[in-house]
Structure 1
Amino acid sequence: MSAPYVELQVTSSFSFLRSGSQPDELMFQAKALGYDTIGLTDWNTVAGAIRAHLAAREAGLRLLPGCRLALRDGSALLAYPRNRAGWAGLCQLLTLGHHRGERDVFLLGWEDLVAAAPDLLLILLPPEDLATLPEHVQSLLDLPGQRAAEEESRFLALTLLRQPGDLARLHAIVAFCTSRGLACVATGDVLYHDARRHVLQDVVTAIREGCTVDALGHRRHVHADRHLKAPEEQARLFAAFPDAVANTRRIAEACTFSLDNLTYQYPTETERAGESAQDTLTRLVQTALPRRYPAGAPPDVETQIAHELRLIGSLSYAPYFLTVNTIVRHARSLGIVCQGRGSAANSAVCYVLGITSIDPVRSGLLFERFISAERQEPPDIDVDFESDRREEVIQWIYRHYGRHRAALCATVQRYQPKGALREVGKVLGLPEDLTGQLSKHIASSLPDPDLCKTRAADLGLNLKDRRLSLTFHLARQLLGFPRQLGTHPGGFVLTEDRLDELVPLMPTAMDGRQIIVWDKDDIDVLRFMKVDVLGLGMLGCLRRGFELLHTVYQTRMDLASIPAEDPQTYRMIQKADTLGTFQIESRAQMSMLPRMKPRTFYDLVIQVAIVRPGPIQMGWTASMRHQ
């Protein structure tokens, strides 16, 4: 049996300091309370929609992905896409609002909603001053598509404010809506999943407002029941407005869109009419073979290339390889040194195309570490470019594919122990020198309450002080909360159709760049493919070295034509004469080189792999060195 009520106004931590709960906490709590469907309406963003979608799927819930839109005239709307076209319209609205004005400013007006309105279900939130309500309602009714197939798609929210005259206020709103032919819907305006999070809610509000909790005043949410309540409890609270409760279920049934409906199409990248991407890739590989193997490709190389092309074709990854090849070719046409790295070096196709410069067949590298039919994971080719010229490549990508089809991934910058202690201590009124001491000495032990108490006692701190103990408790709750969206170093998402119909785009702090609101983990869920355009200063040094060789010795050389396994070079490496040599110049690497005595490239691969923080801390380095 369906729950009698569906919560349609839920704010998560991805509204950035407006909520005391993470999306997954809200979803699992909703399931525990008996919901079968729930909405998510973060402020001017859908950045948390994928996290909520995953949690809802795990919990066995249906998620209604929506958004709270703040308009220029002070009105606020909950916008839910009714279908795939509605999601595209919502993404474009968010993109438009974020691209206006300065960074972190969202500007949207009623006139901007006209094109998207027919496919959106809109819920107007009443203003605190009801004198402006008629104007806002009229603006809502003036939008096209007020009704579709005799079904309401415009509503006014009824929300309890826990203030004197609350019930009279709601009756007045209902009477006004009835006179205007507008339906009402009940909402809980949820800010956190559990009633015990109301203190954290005050803390994040104070951080956002830049003041202490004591100085919040009217900015504090005056009632402490903004937590998610059971459907039956909400139905009881709105018993005087049964139609408003029933409308929550009607809205949920009218909104058929799910994030599972999103289909991603990579740019086709074909060069000739009637030629498929796979045919183009095969032709380019066969054309490039003589450049890598002037004397003819060995049989094992041809076998490996045929195997790779078959697997790439079966997984429909050819357009991705063509995109990376296009970017690399353009960079080299500008004289920019670039080099593929990571598991892409295991691909003979990448080597032949010039994306990487190490022959994987000669080095005995396994292609399935890069792409495997069993794993069903999108390929990930990281390409390093000269760091001081990488921006040329980035801007060319925007021009070549168009800003409506290309954007960088976001990164979610989250609260870590040091930042959480500083921010919480500050808004709770702790002295600055004390918060600095906590950040320096306590942060590393914050996730462990017992260890945290022990270290605090060692510092002579009074744990009976309520503000100090609250600081530890609330900072621990704040760990992992998103602070803001950042920019991925170079992970591009490219599409065949409009990218802003799949996901909203935002400008970055750096002029000329834009990001999607999802990070690399989010796009992995939706199986979006990204191209990593990264910067490496050492490549600039190599280019200048090649130019010096040509000027002084009239010798032309590139990354692929450097003599392999040069004995004199390896003798220098074995003596740790590697100062200024990328990857093997650290003290740890230089101390290992005379003991490992690498003689081949693969010996260096092992050397670099084991002298890493993880293997060293786990004691593997000494064991592998002995072996």
Structure 2
Amino acid sequence: MDFVHLHLHTEYSLLDSMVKIKDLANTVAAHGMKAVAMTDHGNMYGTFKFYKAMKAISVKPIIGCEIYLRNETGTSRKNNHLTLLVKDEEGYANLSKLITTAFVTGKGIGKPRITKELLFNNCKGLICLSGCLSAEIPRLILQANEDKVIKTIMEYRDAFGEENFYLELQDEGLKEQKIVTSKLIELSKKFGLPCVATNDVHYLKREDAPVHEVLVQVGRGGKGFKPGTYSYGSDQYYFRSAEEMFTIFKDVPESLMNTMKIAEMCEFDFDTSHSHMPLFPLPDDKSSTDVLRKKVWEGIHKRYAESRKDVKERVEYELKVICDMGYADYFLIVADMANYAKTHNILIGPGRGSATGSIVSYALGITDVEPLKYGLIFERFLNRERVSMPDIDIDIEDTKRQEIIDYMRQKYGEGNVAQIITFGTMASRAVIRDVGRVLGVDYALVDRIAKTIPFGFSLSDSLNIRGIRKAYDSNGLVRQMIDYSLRLEGLPRHVSVHAAGVVISDKPLVNYFPLAKSGNDVITQFPMDDLEELGMLKMDFLGLRTLTVIHETLTHLNEDITQLYSIPLNDTKTFDMIARGDTVGIFQLESEGMKRLLRNMKPHSIEDIITALSLHRPGPMESGAVDTYINRRTGREPVNYPHPSLESVLKETYGVMVYQEQVMQVANRLAGFSLGEADILRRAMAKKKVKVMAKQHDKFIEECVKNGTGKDVAEKIFEQISAFAGYGFNKCHGAGYAHITYWGSYLKAHHPLEFMASLLTSVMGNTDKLKIYIREVERMGFHVLPPDVNKSEEKFIPETGKGIRFGLLGIKGVGGNLVDKIMMERKREDFKNVTHLFLRIGDHSLNQKSIESLIWAGAFDSLVPNRKAMITFLPDLLQLSRSQRRASQQSSLFANSGTEDMLLKKIDSYDEFFDRDYEERKEREHIGVVFPKERNMKRQEGIEFRCSTFEEVKALAKRLKRSPNGKRVRIVFEGYELTLPFRYEIYK
């Protein structure tokens, strides 16, 4: 009995199906089925993964989707389902277009959906099944509207053609399905329309039904799981065998035969043999190879003042490899992007990843690290032995990343560029919380178990942790929660945008795969690894906060980004700071472990920073390489080498292997491997490719012996580099990041206020980071000054001789519109008093919540020191602002001065105060920190008296005389603090 599943949902029907593609492949193979379809809800996220998994087991993959059709008015969240299957390339192109349209323009209400008109105009190459109970035809049948049923069936038949439209029969045990199936069989016979039996698969085994119900409830935000109750009405949405399907539909055997007929009709395969990289725009008479050569040599002449033989040889070698492998256009595309950034005041990193090892990249301005100076190897990046796309990743200041993407869209076509999708999964901690909520497990218990799971650990890895195992063994509900969680762990939970990935194509991307939308961003529906296999040009534009900090610092100094390239790389003050471990806020050097390493190493060159970045990682630390390196560097241990010929390779790291490139050089020096062959060996070792390693091992030993190295020595060295290769660091990457690290360190050492102000701005909204960096400012001998509507800017700013002023946008609950208005008004003149501010800002920009946030943060303290007075009279101040607008609209000649003066007097004479603890709690809530009380007094134009005896307090009281023009007074005595009401003149 042959049967093909044509209606099946995988894990990419998010929070709706628990069928993992790898498990589906095993199940299909176990049932001996020859084909299977994938029809996820409204999307094609997992299509290529499904395709590859089925091809790997010699099962025909049928690409499809259960789409959402808009109802007739288009204004309801209700939508009709419909099952579509791809017959051929035209069908795939049409389905991709339909799904893209559904996401990009059809997601205004509810699910991503399309109109019937759009479907009928783009249905060639598609097979249509009439759908489940949520489809249009079954719904009309259940409404007993036979005329409309027949009319609708004929619409679909006429649009798709008789051979491509099937009435879909389903039976998951629901009475409504039996009614629909009976009617469809009747209409099939009456009008000669073919029918096909399907099984609406959402899980693989019937016993998975309760777990699936929990998954559905997670998606719906449900609580209080009831065993035996199913949102889908039954427990029969599992992967049925062919025998089960024949039993259910024995009266309509043709519906089962038609599954095979449809499978035979579907003949679509992805093309993975061609690259779809765009061509760089060039004049008609120029080739990309010629243009690349010209630009590279122009760049070389700018980079090197004198002609050098080693440079010339390296350039010619790299150009030949790049051009022979067909990557000239790629380098021109990346170079153009880098040039756009640099000419539009956008800071990009000096190098990221193995591309830093290319002198062509250096000449083109893609990177700014000289590869020859640091002994960087081109073959780590690109070589003939490893046929794969080069991968040039670019770091960009995080606030300018979108600008680069917009430029690429404008250059290569709006539809040819998109950001790349990624999926958040039901990871161990999250799935426990989700399942625990649905099952009604006590929140505190769920929270405790979730927090016990170490970060990065799976649930199965965590089961033997004492607290979890004890709860699992002793509490039946906890056992059920964990068992269910184990089944759901790893499922995709939601869609997000990849932090760096951007894809660029020669044609509109929708020609190759469907697109989706996340916020305002158009994104791919296929993830990054799928796109690369499909021949797409993938680029990583990673937004790096530290580059934004560096650029902001230069802006404070009235310098542009070109100044970074003239910073001396041997500055004593900078390296002294690094050697002390004073590296809070410095890229890659902030952790306590790294600070210890720096204090032990005492770096004094860029090369030392590269080494530190490479050593401070789990592999070298766990292997003892860090201790060995430090001991040898400081003379506590002699330096030795595995073989005398390797001294030149390992000398810079005192005989310790630190870089991946050293593995390649060892193979090159001892065994005569080309650097390309050596990179193949390195990759095999790093990825533990056993068969490749065995082959490489024999070749390595044989060639070493030929070159005069003893077999035992060769075996020992192979063992050493094999163990090291798994955790060795890419020196090219380290060199690029070391320069960013140095830039930040130089600016912190020489321009501390400007650097720290920029650093604080970069973490506005992150209270934990804010506290750390404010402490660092204090340690450095400066102060962070409280927010002030008359002195603060949007961001943190340095105030010469004073410190760093807190930025208004760093206050929780304060929006950009209000801050923009405050800044605009303050350019005219400072605010004289609080009513002056409210009258000038206008009620369009004012809302009570934002103003309250400013009050609690202390931003009004320079105008009104009493925060309780501000909170109390805030409604009156807002009313004053509104009345001013009405007066101006009516062109009133009457001023508000009388009302304004009266209100100002009320506020100033208000003599009730919040408890200081309460004020501090609210201040911390809104800005994350509490400013020292002494400075609070200064900002209030007040004065503080510290009294050691009660007699001093009494003497002080005699010196105070209440005066509206006086100062605020705070008395500190025996640990108590009292801010006196009113203002006082102080007499001697």
Same fold (TM over 0.5): yes
Map 1:213-362; keep pairs closer than 5 Å.
214=225, 220-260=231-271, 263-296=274-307, 298-339=308-349, 340-362=351-373
1:533 maps to 2:541: yes
CA contact (8 A) 1:442 1:452 kept: no
Equivalent AA in structure 2 for residue 602 of structure 1: E
Q: Deviations over 1:435-494 (max 9, x none)?
A: 212211246666237844732355xx4734332111011111111100011001231101
**Aligned partner of 1:187: which letter?**
T
Task: Work out whether residues 380 and 529 of structure 1, in 8 Å CA contact, stay in contact via their aligned partners in 2.
Answer: no
Does residue 105 of structure 1 match 2:111?
A: yes
How far is the alpha carbon of 1:420 from its aligned partner? Answer: 0.5
**Aligned: 1:478 with 2:488:** yes
Could you tell me which of 521, 531, 536 is aligned with 2:529?
A: 521
Equivalent position to 1:123, from 121, 125, 129: 129
Aligned equivalent of 1:507: 517
Deviation at 1:146, TM superposition (A): 4.9
Secondary structure of the structure 1 residue equivalent to 2:498: strand
Q: Deviations over 1:195-219 (max 9, x none)?
A: 3322221111111222235369975
What amino acid is aligned across from residue 593 of structure 1 in structure 2? Answer: L
Partner of 1:81: 86
Given residue 472 of structure 1, which amino acid in structure 2 is its aligned partner?
Answer: I
Deviation at 1:98, TM superposition (A): 1.0
CA RMSD, aligned part only? 2.9
- How far residue 325 of structure 1 moved from its aligned partner, in angstroms, is 1.3
Distance 1:96 1:108 in 2: 7
- 2-structure distance, mates of 1:455, 1:569: 48
Match of 2:130, SS?
strand
From the superposition, tell whether residues 576 and 449 of structure 1 become closer, same or farther in structure 2 (CA, over 3 Å).
closer
Mean CA deviation greater in 213-222 or 259-268: 213-222
Is this contact kept in 1: 2:171–2:177, CA < 8 A? yes
Is 1:160 aligned with 2:171? Answer: yes
- TM-score when normalising by structure 1: 0.90
Deviation by residue 1:560-615 (Cα, 9 ceiling, x = unmatched): 44444556644553444544432234322221123224344333222101212454
Query: 2:436 matched to 1:429?
Result: no
Verify: 1:463 aligned to 2:468, yes or no.
Answer: no
The answer as to whether partners of 1:379 and 1:529 remain within 8 angstroms in 2 is: no
Q: Is the 8 A contact 2:157 2:165 kept in 1?
A: no
The answer as to 2:222 corresponding to 1:211 is: yes
In 1, are the aligned partners of 2:94 and 2:124 still within 8 Å (CA)? no
Which of structures 1 and 2 has the larger relative contact order (alpha carbons within 8 angstroms, sep 6+)?
A: 1
- Work out whether 1:454 is the aligned partner of 2:466: yes
Q: Which residue of 2 aligns with 1:542?
A: 550
Instruction: Rate the CA distance shift 1:453–1:241 in 2: closer, same or farther, 3 A.
Output: farther
The 8 Å contact of residues 579 and 598 in structure 2, kept in 1 or not, is answered as: yes
Aligned to 2:29: 31
* More displaced 10-residue stretch of structure 1: 80-89 or 229-238: 229-238
**Within 1, Cα distance between the matches of 2:619 and 2:149?**
58
**2:82 touches 2:132 (CA, 8 Å); kept in 1?**
no
- Segments of 5+ residues of structure 2 without an aligned counterpart are 72-78, 632-655, 657-988
Corresponding letter in the other structure for 1:594: R
C-alpha spacing 1:140/1:429, structure 2 compared with 1 (3 Å): same
Deviation at 1:348, TM superposition (A): 1.0
- Cα distance change, pair 220–356 in 1 and its aligned pair in 2 (3 A): same
Equivalent position amino acid for 1:28 in 2:
N
- 1:263 positional shift: 4.7
In the alignment, is residue 588 of structure 1 matched against residue 601 of structure 2? Answer: no
Judge conservation of contact 2:7–2:200 (CA < 8 Å) in 1: yes
Structure 1 counterpart of 2:43, which letter? Answer: T
Equivalent residue, structure 1, for 2:98: 93
Query: 1:253: how far off?
Result: 1.4
Aligned partner (choices 627, 633, 649) of residue 622 of structure 1: 627
Q: 1:560-575 residue pairs with structure 2 within 5 A?
A: 560-565=565-570, 569-575=574-580
**Does residue 170 in structure 1 map to residue 181 in structure 2?**
yes
Contact 1:426 1:432 in 2 (8 A): yes
CA distance in 2, matches of 1:240, 1:311: 66
Residue 13 of structure 1 deviates from its aligned partner by: 1.1
The 1:396–1:22 alpha-carbon spacing in structure 2 relative to 1, beyond 3 Å, is: same
1:539 maps to amino acid: L
Which one of the candidate residues 52, 55, 73 is aligned to 1:54? Answer: 52
Answer yes or no: is 1:607 the counterpart of 2:617: no
Counterpart-to-counterpart distance in 1, 2:160 and 2:597 = 73
Cross-structure match for 2:199? 188
* Cα distance between partner residues in 1 of 2:561 and 2:425: 48
Secondary structure of the 1:360 match is coil
Asked whether the 8 Å contact 1:56–1:62 carries over to 2, the reply is: yes
Secondary structure (helix, strand or coil) at the match of 2:384 reads coil
Aligned partners of 1:412 and 1:484 also within 8 Å: yes
**TM-score when scaled to structure 2?**
0.58
Distance (Å, rounded) in 2 between the aligned partners of 1:524 and 1:503: 12
The residue matched to 1:18 in structure 2 has which SS?
coil
Change (3 A) 1:614 1:159: farther
**SS of residue in 2 equivalent to 1:56:** helix
Report the AA paired with residue 155 of structure 2.
D
CA distance in 1, matches of 2:101, 2:555: 46
Counterpart Cα distance in 2 of 1:140 and 1:165: 19
Q: Distance in 2 between matches of 1:140 and 1:113?
A: 15
User: Once structures 1 and 2 are overlaid, which stretch shifts more, 597-606 or 449-458?
Assistant: 449-458
Query: Contact between 1:415 and 1:479, CA under 8 Å: does it hold in 2?
Result: yes
Is the 1:202–1:213 contact (alpha carbons within 8 Å) kept by the matching residues of 2?
A: no
Distance 1:181 1:399 in 2: 53
> 1:455 corresponds to which letter in structure 2?
G
Structure 1, 610-619 or 306-315: larger mean CA deviation: 610-619
Contact 2:280–2:329 (CA<8 Å) still a contact in 1? yes
SS, match of residue 496 in structure 1: coil
Q: How does 1:355-394 map to 2 (within 5 A)?
A: 355-394=366-405
Cα distance in 1, alignment partners of residues 501 and 462 from structure 2? 40
Identity among equivalent pairs (%):
27
Q: 2:38 maps to what in 1?
A: 40
* CA offset digits 1:232-288 (Å, max 9, x no partner): 432343222122111111111111112346854111013211433333322221222
Q: Read off the aligned partner of 1:393 and give its amino acid letter.
A: I
Q: Specify whether residues 141 and 352 from structure 1 end up closer, same or farther in structure 2 by C-alpha distance, changes over 3 A only.
A: farther
- Displacement of 1:519 in angstroms is 1.8
* CA distance in 1: counterparts of 2:87 and 2:338, whole angstroms: 41
- Alpha-carbon distance in structure 2 between the residues aligned to 1:334 and 1:104: 40
Larger Rg: 2
CA distance in 1, matches of 2:89, 2:561: 55
Deviation at 1:155, TM superposition (A): 1.1
Aligned pairs (5 A) from 1:65-76: 65-73=63-71, 74-76=79-81
Evaluate the alpha carbon distance shift between residue 556 and residue 13 of structure 1 in structure 2; reply closer, same or farther with a 3 A threshold. closer
For residues 128 and 225 of structure 2, the distance between their equivalents in structure 1, rounded to whole angstroms, comes to: 37
* 1:365-388, Cα deviation, whole Å (9 max, x unpaired): 111222233333322222112222
| Cα drift, residue 139 of structure 1 | 4.1
Once the 2 structures are TM-superposed, how far is the Cα of residue 223 of structure 1 from its aligned partner? 2.9
Matched, 1:12 2:10: yes
Please state how far the C-alpha of 1:320 moved relative to its aligned partner. Answer: 2.1
Larger mean Cα displacement after TM superposition, 449-458 or 433-442: 449-458
